[in-house]
Structure 1
């Protein structure tokens, strides 16, 4: 077993990288602050005017953070696994800074592609098959307000606290965000959002049961980077959160259509399409409801063109392959990490640098979850996740 105290230089760099990524806060700094007003303007224009999306000013000095990043003496870290993780994380934060400097320019999309990757023809084909196969249905469930969702979320946090008394509760309803998100372990809810009642529980398993749980598991590890995410963790993290919805029976046809539409929208954006072209193609070619098409389109064009939304379906696809190959689910719950890190993470687990996950997500214990997990391990494709209209 490795003596963690002997990893002093690595842990000091890890802690500083974590602080610097918190300063950069890529997710919040790419979230429009005026989405509600932009939607109202778009409605008034009879859906014909390109919306103006405003982003918050950066609260850090890019050059100073970048300089500090490269002043960190990563070369002093002798452990090969830790050296690799710290070096690649340093470089990823530098790319995040450049992307934020390039917001609302034509350069931004290139930085987004560096951070999140593009879309392959196979992924686009799978997305289009889902959109063609799954009927377009109007929402039938009643909606709940942001306040009601926040109350349900606090109840979910308390269910975890009943088993893990030190599990913190962080739920904030805010008027300066446009989408539901987890930021550094805090669940942030847009104050003007509404949620389909039948989506509340799946969303809680997605946001709290995956994003918050892996954050808190990471917080119990000596490597703080496991709270904010190892390099490129987003794809695996979002794929795991979507599969949490599937395991609990909450990955309904409408949700699958949205995930597929995001891939198609990213593909069109990368190919040069603008907001109105993306919005109209989602509406006319893929029968996406108007408000949903709006949400998908603004997420894709924000800041100059974001490739992030392709990671959900791509993450699911890669995880399906990994489960069929016998991936260790516990290793994925150690913190926020990517499938590509599993050999390094397993090495650190074997040597006692990392510990087993503190929290087991509730979605593993819901009725039907073990049987669905067995099906994943037997081998499923993305399109196999569509189980017909009985879930609608």
Structure 2
């Protein structure tokens, strides 16, 4: 890579990271009346009456998209593939922001499909087939959000990543999320966790999401720490791959990932209540509510058809990553070199051949589990 191009890309990377830092789209797609709407749905469902949650949300800042619009005008999208990826990522982020700002279900659906891909009937049938092969035994959720946060902090400290924070937050769709731009792990205040989930989520969140971000930050090409267009299926697929590799993924986890595909596919043409009823054939009402709420994230009136389709990437990405690494196991280090996608592998090989790619310094096998966790797991 030409040094002038590298310098330009790194300048763009620095600018984009600063622009993305204050933008937390998912903060504005997490219902603030989640608990009351959940109760209303459960009461209606018990009585055999149809009810679609009517969600309310925090209002996004006014004009929050303007800096990104200005940034787009500075891009030369046709000069190289990396700048094209930046352009696509920013453009689709703006589409999602516009959909969330206007509570436009059609735009949220369209933008998320452009970002993550269309949930297909074939993928959905694969999810149903996997469900049919599973034998689940639900485990009690006894670990508080505070205790989970402590384990996350211990793991980061043991990895010498003291500049990362773990925060317990309200109003989250996910139970745990990682915000790489501000080096923060978020734990949902309302969430409870099973004992077996402790190690799984350390492998998933710290061993994959945090470590890929940190590895990317050490690279000569700064863009590798950002997670650009089309990376999410690889990101979540690799996290699930690690869960299986280290023996911490349960049948309940596999069921959840499969049901997320079904929820995404059905939500495109069904209401919240219809999708919820389908999912309760296979899981608890609490789990079904969580999954469909994620599928309808950003929607006010959830009787409307449409979906934020992101959650189908967990199941889909796992199969893509597993299949690729079965055939090309030596690509594993490339996939851990940053927040990159399978589609970036040719460009990553070129970077490595020209001396611009470092081997990943952080891998999930290096995780050290604290004494508290060891004690909990021994019980």
Q: What TM-score range do you get, normalising by the shorter chain?
A: 0.7 to 0.9
Residue 105 (1) aligns with residue 100 (2)? no
Among 267, 285, 290, the residue aligned to 2:285: 290
**1:177 to partner: Cα distance:** 2.2
CA distance in 2, matches of 1:363, 1:53: 42
Work out the number of aligned pairs and report it.
352
Instruction: Give the structure 2 partner of residue 18 of structure 1.
Output: 17
**1:364 to partner: Cα distance:** 8.5
Residue 85 (1) aligns with residue 82 (2)? yes
**1:253 to partner: Cα distance:** 0.6
Partner SS state of residue 107, structure 1: helix
- TM-score, with length taken from structure 2: 0.85
Among 178, 182, 186, the residue aligned to 1:182: 178
Residue 115 (1) aligns with residue 110 (2)? no
Deviation per CA, 1:285-315: give whole Å up to 9, x if none. xx21110000011111112421101101110
Instruction: Give the structure 1 partner of residue 377 of structure 2.
Output: none
Deviation per CA, 1:75-131: give whole Å up to 9, x if none. 595xxxxx2122222222111211221234323211111111012333212100111
Alignment check: 8 A CA contact 1:214 1:333 kept: yes
Residue 53 (1) aligns with residue 78 (2)? no
Instruction: Give the structure 2 partner of residue 326 of structure 1.
Output: 328
Residue 349 (1) aligns with residue 352 (2)? yes
- TM-score, with length taken from structure 1: 0.83
**1:341 to partner: Cα distance:** 0.4
Consecutive aligned runs of 4 or more in structure 1 exceeding 4 Å deviation: 2-6, 44-48, 363-366
CA distance in 1, matches of 2:325, 2:71: 36
Deviation per CA, 1:305-326: give whole Å up to 9, x if none. 2110110111011112201221
1:75 to 1:109, Cα distance in 2 relative to 1, 3 A: closer
**1:31 to partner: Cα distance:** 3.2
CA distance in 2, matches of 1:324, 1:36: 43
1:264 to 1:216, Cα distance in 2 relative to 1, 3 A: same
Among 270, 274, 294, the residue aligned to 1:273: 270
Residue 70 (1) aligns with residue 72 (2)? yes
CA distance in 1, matches of 2:13, 2:164: 25
**1:227 to partner: Cα distance:** 2.2
Instruction: Give the structure 2 partner of residue 159 of structure 1.
Output: 158
Instruction: Give the structure 1 partner of residue 304 of structure 2.
Output: none
1:230 to 1:99, Cα distance in 2 relative to 1, 3 A: closer
Deviation per CA, 1:136-182: give whole Å up to 9, x if none. 53x23452110111111112112212xxxx55331001123242101
Among 311, 314, 320, the residue aligned to 1:312: 314
Larger mean Cα displacement after TM superposition, 177-186 or 208-217: 177-186
* RMSD of aligned Cα (Å): 2.4
Larger mean Cα displacement after TM superposition, 226-235 or 208-217: 226-235
Alignment check: 8 A CA contact 2:10 2:223 kept: no
CA distance in 2, matches of 1:155, 1:128: 38
Alignment check: 8 A CA contact 2:89 2:228 kept: no
CA distance in 1, matches of 2:17, 2:255: 35
Instruction: Give the structure 2 partner of residue 203 of structure 1.
Output: 201
CA distance in 1, matches of 2:365, 2:33: 35
Larger mean Cα displacement after TM superposition, 107-116 or 65-74: 65-74
Deviation per CA, 1:209-256: give whole Å up to 9, x if none. 110111111111233332220211110000000111111211111110
Instruction: Give the structure 1 partner of residue 216 of structure 2.
Output: 218
Deviation per CA, 1:16-51: give whole Å up to 9, x if none. 223333344334343334433432443454564222
Partner SS state of residue 159, structure 2: helix
